[in-house]
Amino acid sequence: MKLVSSWCYDGSLPESYVMPPETRPGKSIVPLGKSIPVIDFQHMDRNEIVEQIMKAGEEYGFFQVINHGVCEDLMEETMKVAEEFHAMPAMEKEKECSKDPNGSCKLYTSSYSYPREDFHLWRDAVTHPCLPSEECIQFWPENPTKYREVVGAYTVELRKLSCRILDLICDGLGLSNGFFSNDPYQCPKIMINHYPPCPEPSLTLGLSRHRDPSVITILLPGHVLGLQVFKDGEWIGVEPLPNAFVVNIGFLLQIISNGKLKGAEHRVVTNSRNARTTVSYFVYPSDECIIEPAKALVNSCNPAIYKAFKYIDFLTAFILKAEETDETVKELIDLDYY
């Protein structure tokens, strides 16, 4: 496994990064998603915000949030530390990500299943749990020198923002507030993605089409475009507003909401000019948490459309190879799968 950022300036795209024709982004221009809903947390009243989130969650599975209360300086500093991390030499990055003998902090390239992949992705990433406890932070990188301080402050703010968004979603779904604020749903992880400039952006992808295995994901998208959402059979480019967060509904919330909200399918394309760095904050449950359509949303008129399962089983199925994933996940969650 060699990080893309350590050899990407060689000038050509290796064969193993060339996607099959049906999944390549190609050269066609993807429209920018001016239509992806933008929700203003400061200038709308609560009922209006709930209504807009639900509409966005049903139609797109994606929305942007502005005036969300997270300080702009902290967003900028987080992006700076994220970029500085990926700019360090590969050996330094590896050293900074191997403090936990149990491997809770992971540095990798492409996806978790690099050795089993048919095609590699044009992306490096670092991920780790981000509970604001000393136990958790001791395994984070200490370089760049401000990493722990900045990412620590950022994840505290993101936890507050995620709880606020989830409470609004609870209102919209008719679940009690705090449904997602307690322990089983609060095992967040951060992922810092890096997509270096790519010699052949039409042939490869930064991330292939996927739904996040999360409740929700809050993305700090940076200024370089690359994220695309699949809606009504076509790809739409996401153009983030300044200081906005991009929020998407994860696969788990699709299941918990019994299909009312949509786990958004998305992918990342690369470009030949600018490196792109993004920071994903995933709201994950604990491994042992049972995921199922919320009891309050299920009755004889609205029967459950998914089976109950343990999160760890879902995650295991999810990180298998793409083709197997579909079948293994289906078997786990579909009521009528034999």
Ligand X SMILES: O=C(O)CCC(=O)C(=O)O
Query: 175 or 264, CB closer to Fe ion?
Result: 264
Least distance to ligand X from the beta carbon of 269, Å?
9
Contact 251, 306 (CB under 8 A): no
Q: Convert residues 222-261 into a mask of x (bound to ligand X by CB under 6 A) and - (unbound).
A: ----xx----------------------------------
- Within 8 A by CB and 6+ apart from 19, the residues are 119, 203, 204, 205, 208
d(CA 67, CA 239): 17
Binding-site partner at residue 289 among ligand X, Fe ion, none, CB < 5 to 8 Å by type: none
Residue 65 touches ligand X, criterion: CB under 6 A: no
Query: 19 or 50, CB closer to Fe ion?
Result: 19
- H-only helix segments in the chain: 46-59, 72-87, 90-96, 134-137, 147-173, 251-256, 311-318, 322-333
From its phi and psi, is residue 27 left (phi > 0), alpha (psi between -120 and 50) or beta? alpha
Q: How many residues bind Fe ion (CB under 5 A)?
A: 1
d(CA 243, CA 66): 7
Of 29-37, 97-105, 221-229, 299-307: span binding ligand X (CB under 6 A):
221-229
Of 63-71, 78-86, 212-220, 315-323: span binding Fe ion (CB under 5 A):
212-220
Q: Please calculate the CA angle 282-158-127 and round it to the nearest 5 degrees.
A: 40
**Residue 202: DSSP 8-state:** T
d(CA 256, CA 52): 19
**Of 42, 30, 40, 33, whose CA–CA distance to 62 is shortest?**
33
Residue 268 touches ligand X, criterion: CB under 6 A: yes
Of 89-97, 159-167, 218-226, 329-337: span binding ligand X (CB under 6 A):
218-226
Burial string for 71-98 (b: 16+ CB within 10 Å, else e) reads: eeeebebbbebbbbbbebeeeebeebbe
Least distance to ligand X from the beta carbon of 278, Å?
4
Residue 219 touches ligand X, criterion: CB under 6 A: yes
Among 128, 189, 231, 266, binds ligand X (CB under 6 A): 266
Which single residue is written with the structure tokens 């799968």? Answer: 337
Query: 65 or 294, CB closer to ligand X?
Result: 65
Least distance to Fe ion from the beta carbon of 109, Å?
16
Residue 212 touches Fe ion, criterion: CB under 5 A: yes
Among 212, 265, 284, 314, binds ligand X (CB under 6 A): 212
Least distance to Fe ion from the beta carbon of 261, Å?
16
Least distance to Fe ion from the beta carbon of 9, Å?
26
Binding-site partner at residue 293 among ligand X, Fe ion, none, CB < 5 to 8 Å by type: none
Binding-site partner at residue 128 among ligand X, Fe ion, none, CB < 5 to 8 Å by type: none
Q: How many residues bind ligand X (CB under 6 A)?
A: 12
Binding-site partner at residue 3 among Fe ion, ligand X, none, CB < 5 to 8 Å by type: none
Least distance to ligand X from the beta carbon of 95, Å?
24
Least distance to Fe ion from the beta carbon of 45, Å?
31
d(CA 207, CA 71): 29
DSSP 284-316: ---TTPEE-S-GGG--SSS--SB--EEHHHHHH
d(CA 73, CA 199): 33
Residue 207 touches ligand X, criterion: CB under 6 A: yes
Which single residue is written with the structure tokens 């920018």? Answer: 32
Residues of the shown chain interacting with ligand X in the complex, contacts defined by CB under 6 A: 191, 193, 207, 212, 219, 221, 226-227, 266, 268, 278, 280
